[in-house]
């Protein structure tokens, strides 16, 4: 991507940050044991890996809804739309061009494109960004700032990046991984899904290790 940085103001990779998490393997197991007895003994604690594997393989996934994974994601609009398709057990709040002017002009350029098309997209993106800011400034005295901002975003290109606060429960996270982290998913959302998974796997003294193993992730 030589010289691309000079063509657009803020070209970035899509990124994922784990903001926090709640729950653990034992909470998943206790939820399943509610039907009999939630009392945890050392003997039952030893059975947790086997129980979670059984639940995952048998499709009894309700107990995995009792924990959460909280991410901050910077992603291109196309990938953000893929995220928004997941609504059950998922909460998404995103940066809004209605409420603020997107002055950073963050954007994404695919790393597997030829240099020729990377430069074409970079130039096209910068043109759209310049027109966006010009449009906001020009329309604000006529339409008011709120309407100027919300309508000028039509100039923003599909590779523009926005920040999203995303929370999954573990059941929905597994479903997301199953659909988006596979070979026939779009490359960009697949990479985001893998970044999320790598981040979760990297939690120190991982409280979800048996859950990860149970789902084969």
pLDDT of residue 59: 96
Distance CA 106, CA 144 (A): 25
| pLDDT of residue 172 exceeding 80 | yes
For the chain, the structural domain boundaries read 13-110+161-214
58 pLDDT band, cuts 50/70/90, is very high
pLDDT of residue 97: 86
pLDDT in tens, 110-138: 999 999 999 999 999 999 999 999 999 99
pLDDT in tens, 8-30: 556 678 999 999 999 999 999 99
What number is the average pLDDT over the span 69-98?
93
pLDDT of residue 37: 77
Q: What is the pTM of this model?
A: 0.90
Residue percentage of the chain with pLDDT more than 90: 83
Average pLDDT taken over every residue of the chain? 92
| pLDDT of residue 99 exceeding 90 | no
pLDDT of residue 83: 93
Q: Contact, 187 vs 108, CB < 8 A? A: no
SS (H, E, C) the chain: CCCCCCCCCEECCCEEEEEEEECCHHHHHHHHHCCCCCCCCHHHHHCHHHHHHHHHHHCCCHHHHHCEEEEEEEEEHHHHHHHHCCCCCEEEEECCCCCCCCCCCEECCCCCCCHHHHHHHHHHHHHHHHHHHHHHHHHHHHHCHHHHHHHHHHHCCCCEEEEEEEEEEHHHHHHHHHHHCCCCCCHHHHHHHHHHHHHHHCCCCCCCHHHHHHCCC
pLDDT of residue 38: 78
36 pLDDT band, cuts 50/70/90, is confident
| Cα 185 → chain centroid | 14
What number is the average pLDDT over the span 137-150?
94
Residue percentage of the chain with pLDDT more than 70: 95
Domain boundaries 13-110+161-214, CATH class: alpha beta
pLDDT of residue 10: 61
């Amino acid at each position: 991507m030589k010289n691309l940085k000079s063509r657009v103001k803020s070209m970035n990779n899509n990124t994922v940050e784990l903001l926090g998490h709640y729950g653990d393997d034992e909470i998943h197991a206790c939820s399943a044991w509610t039907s009999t007895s939630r009392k945890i003994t050392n003997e039952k604690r030893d059975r947790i890996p086997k129980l979670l594997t059984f639940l995952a393989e048998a499709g009894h996934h309700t107990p995995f809804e009792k924990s959460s994974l909280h991410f901050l994601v910077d992603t291109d609009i196309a990938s953000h739309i893929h995220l928004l398709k997941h609504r059950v057990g998922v909460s998404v709040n995103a940066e809004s061009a209605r409420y603020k002017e997107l002055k950073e002009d963050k954007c994404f350029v695919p790393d597997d494109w030829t240099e020729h098309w990377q430069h074409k997209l970079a130039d096209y993106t910068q043109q759209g960004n310049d027109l966006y800011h010009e449009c906001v400034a020009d329309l604000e005295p006529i339409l008011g700032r709120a309407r100027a901002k919300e309508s000028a975003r039509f100039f923003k290109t599909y590779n523009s990046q926005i920040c999203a606060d995303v929370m999954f429960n573990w059941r929905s996270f597994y479903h997301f991984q199953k659909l988006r982290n596979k070979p026939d998913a779009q490359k960009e959302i697949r990479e985001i899904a893998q970044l999320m998974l790598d981040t979760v796997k990297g939690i120190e003294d991982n409280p979800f290790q048996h859950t990860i193993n149970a789902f084969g992730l």
